[in-house]
Amino acid sequence: MAMLFALSTRVTTALMRSRYIHRSSATAVGMTGTGETVGAVAGVAELRKEYSRRGISDEEVDGITDPIDFFASWFAEACETSILEPNAMCLSTCIDNKPSSRMVLMKEIDRRGVVWYTNYNSRKSCELLSNPYAATTFWWGELERSVRIEGAVERVAAVEADRYFSSRPRSSQIGAWSSCQSSEVTSRIELEQQQRAVEDRFRDPLVPVPRPPHWGGFRLVPARIEFWKGRESRMHDRIVFERTEEGGPQWSKKRLQP
């Protein structure tokens, strides 16, 4: 995290709290094919939010030389708001042309890419080992901002995984041993029994909990980064950076229509 904040080049102060504008309508949305409303989703199409005028000007885009630095500045601002987990990101993988997504927590970002940690036997890990490409999306609604990152994925070195694992709370370390992530379990009771068995195994608090061999990190190496900022009348800002060559330090940039 220190490396991330060291990358930050500037922090602005324009923050806006999200507000939905609910409008009444005779049209019922969130209905089944028979016209029956589904739970509390009736009228979901009437949820509205008007975004602010403050966006990413052409002059600001011209001044961006490195998208990692720009991401760092946005992330720093996200950390200063009341966003529950600003490092939460939606990670999307794909195998056999069937995509899947889930929320994970970014634990590091540097010039090499974005890092998260997980069980290597989980569904997402198996998909990444089969197709080592992914996309991830950050959503910071309070700031009317989103960032999408796409690229190849690689395993984090064991020494890095060991260092991060040793920094985790002991309860989280035990949790990494307790869960066979993505495997079916018959009940919550069975899951808690697994946890108690691991707690008993590592009951001596003076003995460090080692990193499980099936647990480690992945790094998404950015090839494409898109910055999105909500604007009035849905005329949003979309700024895209793409590496000019694989793994190279140079980026091209362009503005997309919303």
Least confident of 18-22, 78-82, 142-146, 230-234: 18-22
Coil, strand, or helix at residue 82? coil
What residue segments make up the domains of the chain, in order of their start?
2-16+57-256, 20-51
Q: Would you say domain 2-16+57-256 falls under CATH 2.30.110.10?
A: yes
pLDDT value of residue 5: 40
pLDDT, tens digit (0-9, with 9 covering 90-100), for 76-88: 999 999 899 999 9
Q: What confidence tens digit (pLDDT) does each residue in 154-163 have? A: 999 999 999 9
Q: How far apart are CA 166 and CA 192, in angstroms?
A: 23
**Residue 32 pLDDT > 90:** no
Distance CA 59, CA 69 (A): 17
Judge whether residue 247 has pLDDT over 90.
no
Give the mean model confidence (pLDDT) for residues 175-179: 96
Q: Give catalytic residues, as residue numbers.
A: 234
Q: What is the pLDDT of residue 6?
A: 44
Neighbours of 50 (CB within 10 A): 12
Other Cβ atoms closer than 10 A to 213: 8
Cα 190 to its chain centre, rounded Å, is: 30
Spatial CB neighbours of 122, under 8 Å, sequence gap ≥ 6: 181, 182
